[in-house]
Amino acid sequence: MFGLGTIINTLSVIVGGLLGIVMKSGLKEKYQNILMQALGLATLFIGISGAMKGMLTIINNEIETQGSMILIVSLVLGALIGEFLDIERRLEYLGEFIKKTVKFKDHSRFVEGFVTSSLVICVGAMAIVGSLQDGLHGDYSMLVAKSVLDFIIVMIFASTLGIGVIFSAFPLFIYQGGMTLFASLLAPLFTQGVITHLSFVGSVLICAVGVNLCFDKKIKVGNMLPAMLIPLFFH
């Protein structure tokens, strides 16, 4: 079935979010706080490991780094473009619109949950490569693996940030479904070099999400999303 991987991934986010809501109702605030710190720490190191995987290489039995310049250029240009477009604010407006439309007035962290979860599950190489494989070859195995990871992540997010997390399924469906639908057109753009650079730039953004969760900071990760496009132009 065409696009089955994205459908499975979307359903995993919804089901994981619903289970997280059930968990939340039985958790005291102190447990919610420690879970948020634990998830922030996990997100931080998932981002760090992805970034290191893309940047570290072994040459003549010595560890060397690569891609530092494209990382710096991608983040700087991406941040400038994103700040000009004010992407983070637009994501928050979208979250507020959904919140008002479905009338969840009593959920104070709805927008935070929607934005944070959307960034974590949509940014990354698995979403791109998995969607292209699904669209070109009908191979949705990578998206199924991603579904398992997203299920766990979203369940824990929902147990601390609330019901807004579930609605991150919508941008996920549009993002991955769009790439699956137009896979034949997009595939020539995503060479191995592009995917490698996209992976570690995306991992650095995930790392920034982890910093926000762990240390209650406000790095505007949404405004840095255009950094994901810079490697395409570079290559």
**Overall number of domains in the chain:** 1
Mean pLDDT of 198-216: 84
Query: Among residues 96, 207, 124, 118, which one has the least CA distance to residue 165?
Result: 118
What range does the domain containing 104 cover? 4-234
pLDDT at residue number 104: 66
| Token digits of residue 7 | 């459908």
- pLDDT over threshold 70, residue 105: no
Give whichever of 13-27, 43-57, 70-84, 208-222 has the largest mean pLDDT: 70-84
Q: Model's pTM, two decimal places?
A: 0.78
Give the tens place of pLDDT for each residue, 130-170: 888 888 888 888 899 899 888 988 988 888 888 889 999 99
> Residue 59: phi, psi to the nearest 5?
-125, 120
Distance between CA atoms of 110 and 163, rounded to whole angstroms? 6
Give whichever of 59-63, 136-140, 164-168, 214-218 has the largest mean pLDDT: 164-168
- pLDDT over threshold 60, residue 106: no
Distance between CA atoms of 34 and 38, rounded to whole angstroms? 6
Q: What is the CA angle 71-44-145, rounded to 5?
A: 90
